[in-house]
Amino acid sequence: MKLIMLGAPGAGKGTQAKRIAAKYGIPHISTGDIFRANIKNGTELGKKAQTYMDQGLLVPDELVCDLVVDRIQQSDCEKGYVLDGFPRTIPQAEALTAALEKLGTGIDYAINVEVPDANILNRMGGRRACLGCGATYHVEFNPPKQEGVCDTCGAELVLRDDDKPETVQKRLDVYHEQTQPLIDYYTKAGKLAEVDGTKDMDDVFAAIVDLLGE
Ligand code: ADP
Ligand code: ADP
Ligand code: ZN
């Protein structure tokens, strides 16, 4: 099963992608997590990506596409994968389609998690991220057992710099301009599936399982 998660920053792509990965036994591939791990480890890629991420801008396509195309050819991706945060631009989508065509395959669904901007601003302020394992929490909607500590790995939870309100607005603008056109792209390809992301997390997941099958 090869899936793409589409949706605004904070729509719940990561939350749902993790559940999909666990239920269907496929890897969750988050380009945001890959960049954050590179920043933490001080790699060249991390240094390049950080200047864009801090401003709420997208990292240039050429830094993203090869990385994902390599990743999806690793052995753990044989049964499929769920891509979270990629593609984010039309050129990225075209690069993915071309790479998959070359491999004689294609994606099954692009799942669009639909949430209006007004709800997003509220969600992002409450998001807390674990830089240890990539887990995500929400102070109100999905709190960790102990405040400020990751349930899974015990590391400290942080408010990401790019989740501060001034940067969130910029990221939403970037989303509407550069990423939203992908909804049309995957509609035309006959791959788009929509879910209502304003529902609570369990209901959103139930809608996705309805689509993908038990
Ligand atoms: P969110 O899902 O909250 O938008 P992500 O963790 O997916 O956040 O992404 C954080 C940042 O990483 C983005 O704002 C962008 O700078 C960068 N990034 C992640 N994926 C991509 C991508 N496919 N193309 C360009 N930039 C990306
Ligand atoms: P994305 O990967 O699209 O940027 P996340 O999955 O990280 O989004 O979710 C953003 C924030 O909203 C997180 O704090 C998460 O716990 C919370 N969240 C996710 N889905 C829901 C939902 N259906 N209802 C309320 N809060 C949610
Ligand atoms: Zn953790």
CB of 142 sitting under 6 A from ligand 2: yes
Q: What is the pLDDT of residue 92?
A: 98
Contact indicator for 150, 130 with CB cutoff of 8 Å:
yes
> Mean pLDDT, to the nearest integer, of 84-108?
97
pLDDT above 90: residue 122? no
- Ligand 1 mean position to 49 CA, how many Å? 10
Q: Which ligand is nearest to the CA of 154?
A: 3
User: CA torsion angle for 198, 200, 202, 207 (degrees, to 10)?
Assistant: -30
Q: Whose CA is nearest to atom 3 of ligand 1?
A: 9
The residue whose CA has the least distance to atom 26 of ligand 2 is 141
- Nearest residue to 7 via CA among 113, 90, 109: 113
The mean pLDDT value of the chain amounts to 96
Please answer whether residues 184 and 17 qualify as being in contact, where contact means their C-beta atoms are separated by less than 8 angstroms: no
pLDDT in tens, 127-179: 999 988 889 999 999 999 999 999 999 999 999 989 998 899 999 999 999 99
- Model pLDDT, residue 131: 85
Query: At CA 39, angle to CA 56 and CA 112, rounded to 5?
Result: 45
